[in-house]
Structure 1
Amino acid sequence: MVSTESRQRRLALLEEHFASEVEKEFDRTVATFAGPPRYEIMATGQVHDGEEAVLAYHRAQRAAFPDQRHENVRMHVADDTVVAEFDLLGTNLGEFYGGPPTGKAFRVPVIAVFFFEGDLLTNERIYLDVASLLGQIGRTDLLGLAAELGR
């Protein structure tokens, strides 16, 4: 069972993690990991492993969705993970997978599982409905690409 102190340290670390992503301070985001950062996007099978890959992922996301943010964040603490449920919002104002911006906004529910060793973050695994996101921003032409990435 996770101690109260460990729970508080993990939640404080994740608060910093979320804030740094929204504030586009990705060096701060990377610093929330114990070692090389790792993001797994389950809907597409994409894995961003290591500092350069994670920074490139964040920069591409914020180029496409500069106002991307989280709302309604709820945290559930377990022994070696914290599960975060939240709404992810943004507006497609930049190039996204080679296509021009649509100017359309999205809101999708997300579950992110954060893995810990002690109080140190080791991995973020993200579950989201990519089809809903693509439909909301008017880019259903990318559904085939999302399926290909998942193989």
Structure 2
Amino acid sequence: MGDARDVLNRLNAEVNTARDHAVLRDLYAPDAVLTSPNWDDVRGPDGAIAYLSSWTDAFPDVADEPVAQYEIGNVAINQYITRGTHTRPLVGQSGTTVPPTGNSFELRTCDIIVVADGRIVQHHIYLDVADWFGQLGLMPESPI
């Protein structure tokens, strides 16, 4: 196992269980960039923690079940089945709040991280936001 795999495993352990912001802050480089389909890019450890906390705060039971793991040099990739229940407000990047729906979701998700000097410099998160919002009851019914 290489450095990138170790870092992604530590990140997953923190997001899924301990949720220790000091550890998360140490995992991200000061100039790290996190990209996701539901927020604009965030920068640095504080930006990454804000994004990740938006998930863990709104879905306290959120958990990632690894489906596949890859590592190539300083890049680690995980594919998951991510599950959670919307029991607390979901706060968006702009501060907009979605009240809890009580609905559960199950999504295919993917993390790709790039590591330099033992810290995350790029973190790309992929998920189907329309599917996620649909499962939460936040999308209108399909007319067909």
Normalized against structure 2, the TM-score is what? 0.81
Structure 2: 5+ residue stretches without partners: 91-95
Q: Which amino acid aligns with 2:138?
A: R
Within the alignment, does 1:84 sit opposite 2:78 as a pair? yes
Query: Residue 73 and residue 17 in structure 1: after superposition, are their counterparts in 2 closer, same or farther (change >3 A)?
Result: farther
CA shift at 1:61, angstroms? 2.0
Runs of 4+ in 1 over 3 A off after TM superposition: 34-37
Residue 114 of structure 2 corresponds to which residue in structure 1?
115
CA shift at 1:69, angstroms? 1.4
Cα deviation digits, residues 19-56 of structure 1 (max 9, x gap): 01112213212212243443100x23521112322222
Within the alignment, does 1:38 sit opposite 2:33 as a pair? yes
Secondary structure of the structure 2 residue equivalent to 1:108: strand
CA shift at 1:134, angstroms? 0.5
Residue 49 of structure 2 corresponds to which residue in structure 1?
55
CA shift at 1:112, angstroms? 1.4
Residue 27 of structure 1 corresponds to which residue in structure 2?
22
Within the alignment, does 1:67 sit opposite 2:61 as a pair? yes
Indicate the larger mover: 131-140 or 43-52: 43-52
Secondary structure of the structure 2 residue equivalent to 1:35: strand
**Is the Cα–Cα contact under 8 Å of residues 4 and 118 in structure 2 kept in the other structure?**
yes
Percent of residue pairs identical: 21
The answer to which structure has the higher helix fraction is: 1
CA shift at 1:59, angstroms? 2.5
Secondary structure of the structure 2 residue equivalent to 1:140: coil
